A and B are shown apart, each in its own frame.
Chain A
Amino acid sequence: MNITRAVMMLCCWVAWGTVSAGDDALQEMDTALEQAKRDMLDLDEKIRRLAHSEKHQALETLSVYVSIDSDLAFRLEKVQLKLNGKTVTEPAFYRPHWQALKQGGAACVYRGGLAQGKYRLEAIFSGREKGGRRAEYREQWNLTLRPGRNSLIELHLGNAIFSQAPAIDMRVVD
C-alpha cells in the first residue's frame, strides 16, 4: 500500500500550488475595463450636473461615519444605527471593509435628510472579542440638528488603556 500512500501525500502537497490565467485574455479585459470605468466616471459627472440643475438639493443633513484604531482588538462585524429608536441602517463589515477600516478609512454608514430638531442616536456595534467571543456594545447620544447645517458625525472605536471593551467616542463635525 505504500504506492497508494505516496500518491495521496503528493496530492496533498500539490494543493499548495498556484493558478494562472492566459495573459492575453487578461490584458484585453483590463483595457476594456479601464475604458468602461472612465466612461462610468464621465457619466457620473453628467448625471451630477443634471441633478444639480434641477435644484433638487438632497437633504443631506446628517451623515454618520464609523472609524477604528488600526490595532483595534475588537473585530467589528456589524453596526446597527437607530434614530429615535428606529433602525435606519445595519451595514456589515466584510473582510475588505474591515481591512479598509483598519487602514484608516472612515465608512459612511448613513447619509440622509432629516428635519431639524432633537434626535436620539443609538449605535450597536456587534462583532467578536480578541479570543473569538461574540460581543455587542451600544452607546446613545442626544443630538440637536440645526437648520441649514450639513452635519457629519464620526463614531470611533479604539482600544482602551485599562479595559478590554472598546472605547466608543463620538465627534461632531458641522
Chain B
Amino acid sequence: MVAAASFSHAAASEQRADLLGRELLYYQYAGEGYKAISRYRAGVASGDIKEQDSLAARLHASWGLFDDATRLYGSAAVQTPRQRAGNWFSLGKAYYERQRYAEAVSAFEKVGLYPLPRELEYQRLLLMGLALYQLDNFAASSSALWSIHSTSKQYPFARINIGMGSIKIGSWPGGISGLGSIRKRIGIDVKAPPQFADRLNTVFGYLLLYEEYSGSKTAYGKASMHGFTTPSKRGYKDAREMLEAVSDEGLYANKAMLGRAWIAIDTNELAQARIILERLNGKDPRHLTVQEAKLALAYVLERMGDVGQAINYYRNAAGFFENERNRLDGLLQRLGRGELDNAFLTLKKDAAAQNQLSGYLPEMLLAPLWDRLLGDFEDIARLRLRLDEWRKQLVNAPSTGGGISKATVLSELSRQQAALDGLHLQTARLLRRQAGEQLAERRRRVNHYLNQARYGLAELYGRQQVGGVDAEEALLAYHNYLKEAPNMSEEVRKHVIERVADLEMELGEEVTGIAPSVEMSGVDAYLAELENRPQQASSDDVLYKLARAYEQRGNNAKALETLRQLIRRYPDSNYVPEARFRIAEGLFVAQNYQQAATAYGHLLNNRENNAYYYHALYKRGWSLFKLDRYRQALDDFFAVLEHYDSTGDSGSRANRELYADAQRAINMCFVNMNGAASVSDFFARNKHHRYIETVYQSLAEYYLAQERFSDAVQTWSTYVQNYPDSQYAPRYLLKIIDTWRQPGFEQKRVAAQERLINEYGLDTPFWSSHKPEQFSDVRTALKKNTRLLAEHYHIKARESGNKRDYLQAANWYRDYLKNYPHEKDAAELNYLYAEILQEAGHDREALAEYETVVKKYPQFGKRADAGYAAVLLTFQQAESGPVAEREQWRRQSYGTALNFAKLFPADGRVPDVLLHLAEESYRRGEYVQAITLARRVAGQGDVRQKQKALLIAGHSEFETGEYPSVEQTYRTLLQTGRVAKNDRREINKRMALSIYRQGEAARKAGNLPAAVEHFLRVRKEVPASSIVATAEYDAAAGLISMENWPAAIEVLERFREEQPGHRLQHEVTRKLALAYLSSNQPAKAAQEFERLAVVEADAEKRGAALWKAAELYGNNNHLNQAAKLYRQYVREYPAPFDVAMEARQKLVTIYSETGDSRQRDYWRKQIIQADRSAPVSNERSRYLAMTAALEIADAKYRDYQAVQLTIPLKKSLRKKKKLLKEAIDAYAVVAGYGDAATITRAGYRIGEIYYDFSKALMKSERPRGLNAEELEQYGILLEEQAFPFEEKALEFYRSNRIRITDGLYDEWIQKSLERLAEIFPARYSRPEKQDAYIEALQ
C-alpha cells in the first residue's frame, strides 16, 4: 500500500517533545547513557526539549552519575509527592543496576512514604526485595516481596525469590512449598513469560532431584530416603514432571534434559536415559551439560551391561575431554595475553553464537556483576569511538568558537583519551581475571570429567581383563587417574591402589607400599629406663609413677600389676585409695567390668573421708551399666543425684560434670532398657518422684541430641499420656511439635499439632482445672498451630489436589476464625478460607466468604483482592461450572462484579471486570446492558480497554439498530489512538453499514433528502467500504425520485467511474439515460441508450434501446450516429418486420438529408427488396416499397432527362436509350404495386419519357457539314425514328385518360390530358364533355 502522507499536518510541539523524550528513554534503557544525556543537552540547547531537572537526574542516575543525579533531583522544580516518589524510585533503580544495593534500598525506602502507580510500586518492591536479598537480609526481602500482588507482572519473580531465599536460609520445606505453589499457579491465575516457567521448572526440578539424590533433609527427601533407585519416589516423580515441562528449545533445555537423564538412571530406566543422553550428546559440545552427558552415556551403557560399547564411549569421552582441556588451556593463554578482549564487546549481543567466549562462559551473561562489567566495557569502547569521531570532526572545525579554542579542546581530548584507555585496560584486566577464573573452573571440571572417564575406563578394562582381556590398559588407565585426579577421596584412593597392586602383581611387578612411620615417644623412653633399672622402683612414689607411665603407654596389665604391687608393699601409703580407684579404673578400661564393679565396691565400704566415694559409686554404676545390669546401675546413679541434690554439693565444675554425667547415665540406662516405657515403669515402682519431669525431659533431650526424634517424642508422649493433667503436658506436646519441625517429619508434626488442639484446645476440660493466665504460652501456641494447620492443609491440598485435604484446611481456618475472630490476621485467614473453599470446589461458600472479607474487614489490605476473587469465581463458574448452574452463576456474576466496581472504583481491575461483563452481555444478545457497561469502561480504562469497550459498544449499538450512535462510537474508537489497519478495516465496514442503515431508515420514513445525504456520506466517510457502491446507487435513485437530475447525474457518473465492474452498472446506465433524457440532454441520453443496446440482457430491450438511441441522435441532428445505429438495428433486429422497414425508411430519409444518394437508393432498394421478400407484407410496407420504387423511378427519370442527344448521336443516343429503359423499367415496378394514384403517375412519366425521347430525337444536334438536302433527309430519318416513341407516349397518356372512366382523376391524369392536347390539340384540346355527364351522374 502506498499511503499519501504530507508534512502539512499540524504537529504540536508537545508531540515533538514527547518523541524526543522517548528517544532519551530508549538510549537510557538500552544502556547508552552517554547518548541519552548528550541528546538531552542538545535538545535543551536547540529548544526542542524543555529543561527538566528530574529528567536530567534520571538520565544521570541511570548512567551511574549518582552525585549529579542527586544534585539535580534536589534542584528539581516544584515537585508533587508522586514526582518525588518517582525520583527516588529512579535513583534506587539506578543504584540497584550498579549493584549498589544498600544505597538502592535506602532510596527505595524513601519512596515508600509517597504513592506510586500500582505496577511501579510492585516493581519497586521487587527491586527492593532483590537488593535486600543481595544484602542477606532475607526477612526484610521476603516481606517486601510478599507485598506484591498476585496480579502484578512482578509477582512470579517475587515468589521465586522468596522461595530461593527460604532455601538459602535453610528453610527447605518453606522454599520448596513456595516454589511449588507459584509453579502451579503459572498459567492459571499468574502470568509469566515462558522463559520464566522454564527457569522455574529447571531450578525446582534440580532442587528436588538434588535433594532426592543426596537424601536431603527436606520434606520431600526424608519421606522417601530408603534408597536411590526406587522408581516411585515422590521427589523424582515431581522433578521429572518439572524438567519435562521445560521447553526443548530454550535456554534451559540442555540442563533439563540432563536432569531427566539422571532421574531415568536413578529409577533404572536405562533405555530412556540412553535416548535422552544420545540426543543431548548431539548438541553443542561447548555446553557443560552436553559434556557431562558424554560421561553419563558411557555410565549408562556400563549399567546396561554393554561393556564393549561403554569402553568405547569412555575412551571417546576421555579423548574429547583431553582435547577440551587443551582448548581451554589455549583460551586461557590467549585470554591472559589480551587477545580475547574484543570478544567481551560482543558477548552481550544476540549474535553471540560466534563468540569464542560465550559458549564457555554463559555465567557471564547471567551474573549481574559480570553483566555490569561487560556493560561498562562496552560503554568505554563506545566513548573511545566517540572520541575518535570528535577528533576527525575537529579537523574541519574553526580554530575558535563559543569562547573555546580548538587547541584547548584537542588537548582535553587527548587527556580524555588517555583516561579512557586506562579504564579500558583496567576493565579488560578485571574481565580477564573473572573470565580466567571461570575458564579455570571450567578446566578443572573438564579435567575432572577426564579423570572420571579414565577411571570408568580402567574399571571396565579391569572387568574385561577378568574375561581374559588386556590388564595393561587397565593399569595405564589407573595410573593416569592416579596421576591427575585431584581431591580423590580416601576410599577411592584406597580402592585404586588396591586395584593397581592387584594388577601389577598379576603383571609380575611389585607395588610400592605405603607404610606408616612410627616415632618413639617420651613415655616409651621412661619405661625403657625403668625396665632397664628395676631397682629404681623402690618407693610407693616410683610405683605410682610407673603405673601411670604404663597406663599412658596403654599397657593396662602392667599398670594394674604395678598398682597392686604398691597396695601390697605399701598398704598405708596415701596412694592406696587412689591405687584402688585406679585398679578399678584399670579394670574398667580393660573392660573387666565385673571385677571393676567389685573393685569400685571396695571403695564404698567407707564413706567417711573417702574422696573417691561418689566417684566410685558413679563408676560402679557405669560398670553395672556395662554389665547390662541397668536397674542396679540406676540405683547407683540416682544415689549420686540424691547425694548432690541433698547436700547441694554440686557447685564445683567437676561435680557439676559428674552430676550431669549421672543424668546422662540414667538416660543411657533407660535408653538401653526400653526408653520411655522403662521410665514409666521405673517411676511406677520407685520413688525419686522429684526427678520425673527431669528424667523425662533429660531423656527426650538425649534422644534429640542423638537425632532420635521418634524416641524423644515417644518420651514426651509417654509423659503426656501418664500425666495428662500436668502443666507440662501441653508444653511437652509443644516440644513434640517443635521436634517434628525438623525436615521430613511434616506428617508427624501435623499429627502432634492436631493432638495439641484436640486435647488442649480452648474448649477442652483441661482449662476447667487450670488458670489460663498461667498458660499464655500454650494459648499463643494453640492459636499459632491452628493457623499453621490450616496453612499446612492448604499447601497440601494444592499439591495433592485431594478434596479431603481441602476440607481439612477449611475446617482449621473455620476453627481459627471461630476462636480468634478479632485477631489481626483474621481477615487474612478469612481470605485464605475463602480461597481454600474455592479450591475445594465449594464455590457458593467461597463466594460467601469472599463477600464476608469485603464486608467485615474494611481495613484489610487485600479487601479489593477478595472482591476481585469473588468476581473471578462467578465469571469462572458462569463459563465452565456445572451446566445446570451456569445461568445462576452468570446472574450472580453481574451483581458481584458491579458491586466490586462500586466498592473499588479506583481499582485497576475494574475496567477489565466490566469489559468482561460487557462482552458477556454482547455475546448473549443483551445489547443494551453491553452498551451501558462498555460505555462505562470507555470512560475510565486505558487505551486497550477503551478500544475494546468502544468496539463492544459499537457492535451492540449496531445490533440494536442505533446507527447514529454506532457511527459516533466507531468514530471515537478510531480517535483513541493507533488502531491496527486490519481492525480499522472491520470497524470501517461496520461504520459504513451503520451510515447506510441511517439512509435506509430515512428513506423508509419518507425523508428522501436525508436518506440521500446519508447514502452519500458513506462514500465520504468510509471511501474504501464495499457498501459504497450500493449507497451511491441508492443516493442516485433518491435523487432521481426527487428529480434532482444534475445531482443524480453526478453521482451516477461517479459510480460508473469508481465502480467499473459493479453489477449495478447496467442500472446506472438506465438511470443515467433517464436522467439525461429528463434533463434535456438528448445526445448524452442517446449515448446511454447506445450503451444499453449493448449491455441489456434482453434482446427486445437491447433493440428498443438501440432504436431510442438512433432516434435521439436523429432528432438532434447527429445523423451519422443515427444512421449507424439504424443500420445496426436493421442488421440485428430484422424482426419485427414493420419496425425494420421503418428503420430502412429512416435511413432513406437520413441519407436523403445528408445527400448521400448512393446510400439513400441502396436503402430504397432494400425497402423494396424487404417488402418483396417478406412472407406477409402489409399496406405500410408496400407503401414504403412503392414510394421507394417511385422515388427511384423519379430519380431515373431525372437522370434520363439530363442527357442531351448530341453528336456523335450514336453515343449519346445509346446512353439516353439506356436510361430510358431503366426509367421505364423503374416506373413499371412502381406501376406493379397496383396503386391507382401511383399508376397514373407512372403512366404519365413513361409517356413523358417516350415523348421526350421523340422530341429529343427530333431536336438532336445535326451532324456538321450536311447540306440542306442532306439535312432534310436526316430530319426525315429522325422523324421516322421518333415517331414510334411519340406513339408510345400517346399510348401511356391515353391510358391515363381512360382511367377517368374508372372514376380516377389526379394531377397525373390532368398532366396526361394536357400533353395529349399539346400533341393533338384538335383531338384533345376540346372541353371535356364527360364533365357534364359526370356532373349529371353525380
Contact = CB atoms under 8 A, between A and B. Distances in A.
Interface of A: 1, 3-9, 11-13, 15-16, 18-21, 25-26, 29-30, 32-54, 65, 67, 77, 92, 94-97, 99-101, 103-108, 120, 132, 139-146, 149, 151-152, 154, 156, 158-163, 165-174
B981 interface: yes
Nearest to B433: A21
B463 to A, nearest CB: 11
Point out which of A35, A96, A139 has the most chain B C-beta atoms below 10 A from its C-beta: A96
Given A50-B397, A52-B402, 8 more contacts: A3-B491, A3-B492, A12-B259, A46-B412, A94-B350, A105-B30, A149-B7, A173-B11
A70 B948 CA distance: 17
B262 interface: yes
B416 A39 contact: yes
Given A41-B37, A95-B350, A29 B423 contact: yes
A124 B1206 CA distance: 95
Contacts of A30: 64, 98
Contacts of A96: 29-31, 348
Interface stretch (B14-22, B804-812, B881-889): B14-22
B983 A167 contact: yes
A12 B948 contact: no
Interface in B264-303: 265, 288-289, 292, 295-296, 299, 302-303
7 contacts: A3-B489, A12-B259, A36-B383, A37-B65, A37-B383, A43-B390, A97-B30
B41 interface: yes
A36 B416 contact: yes
B380 A33 contact: yes
B404 A49 contact: yes
A45 B38 CA distance: 8
Given A47-B393, A144-B7, A104 B350 contact: no
Nearest to B375: A96
Interface class of chain A by DSSP: mixed
B213 A9 contact: yes
A4 B401 contact: no
Contacts of A6: 213
Point out which of A30, A40, A104 has the most chain B C-beta atoms below 10 A from its C-beta: A40
Contacts of A19: 363, 367, 369-370, 434, 437-438
B501 interface: no
Contacts of A142: 2-5
Interface string B142-175: 0000000000000000000000000000000000
Contact of B19 (A15, A43, A101, A106): A106
B404 A50 contact: yes
Contacts of B398: 50, 53-54
Contact of A105 (B4, B22, B292): B22
Contacts of A38: 65, 68
A132 B194 CA distance: 13
Given A43-B412, A107-B26, A25 B430 contact: yes
A169 to B, nearest CB: 5
Contacts of B459: 1
Contacts of A132: 249
Given A32-B423, A51-B393, A8 B19 contact: no
Interface string B407-449: 0110011011001101100110010011001100000010011
Contact of A151 (B7, B38, B370, B404): B7
B33 interface: yes
B225 to A, nearest CB: 15
Which bucket holds chain B's interface residue count? 35 or more
Contact of B45 (A25, A48, A67): A48
A145 B5 CA distance: 10
A71 B38 CA distance: 29
B779 to A, nearest CB: 44
A159 B943 CA distance: 12
Nearest to A105: B26
B986 interface: yes
Point out which of B7, B16, B213 has the most chain A C-beta atoms below 10 A from its C-beta: B7
Interface string B976-988: 0011111100100
A16 B210 CA distance: 12
B394 interface: yes
Contacts of A49: 401-404
Given A45-B41, A54-B398, A21 B292 contact: no
Point out which of A65, A77, A149 has the most chain B C-beta atoms below 10 A from its C-beta: A65
Contact of A21 (B19, B303, B369): B369
A143 B45 contact: no
Nearest to B412: A43
Nearest to B249: A132
A124 to B, nearest CB: 14
A141 B2 contact: yes
B438 to A, nearest CB: 7
A62 to B, nearest CB: 10
B1251 interface: no
B685 interface: no
Contact of B22 (A16, A51, A106, A160): A106
A115 B306 CA distance: 77
B1188 interface: no
Contact of A18 (B98, B367, B455): B367
Contact of A32 (B98, B413, B415, B422): B422
A163 B258 CA distance: 39
Given A97-B30, A160-B981, A4 B455 contact: yes
A11 to B, nearest CB: 6
Given A4-B299, A34-B64, A47-B394, A67 B22 contact: yes
A127 B1148 CA distance: 77
Contact of B63 (A1, A5, A37, A156): A37
A33 B349 contact: no
A160 B948 CA distance: 12
A120 B348 CA distance: 36
B1195 interface: no
Contacts of A15: 288
A162 B982 CA distance: 7
B951 interface: yes
Nearest to B981: A167
B206 interface: yes
Point out which of A11, A12, A167 has the most chain B C-beta atoms below 10 A from its C-beta: A12
B456 interface: yes
A32 B419 CA distance: 8
Contact of B986 (A65, A103, A162): A162
Contacts of B1276: none
A167 B19 contact: no
B253 to A, nearest CB: 13
B5 A52 contact: no
Given A5-B299, A18-B367, A96-B348, A173 B16 contact: yes
B94 interface: no
Interface string B384-401: 001000100110011011
B948 A161 contact: yes
A104 B983 contact: no
B320 interface: no
A165 B980 CA distance: 9
Interface in B800-854: none
Contacts of B45: 48
A67 B978 CA distance: 12
Nearest 4 pairs of A and B residues by beta carbon: A53-B401, A105-B26, A167-B980, A49-B402
A3 to B, nearest CB: 6
Contacts of B762: none
Nearest to A161: B983
A4 B452 contact: yes
A139 B422 CA distance: 47
A33 B423 contact: yes
A1 to B, nearest CB: 6
Contact of B348 (A1, A45, A95, A163): A95
Interface string B33-55: 11001100110010000000000
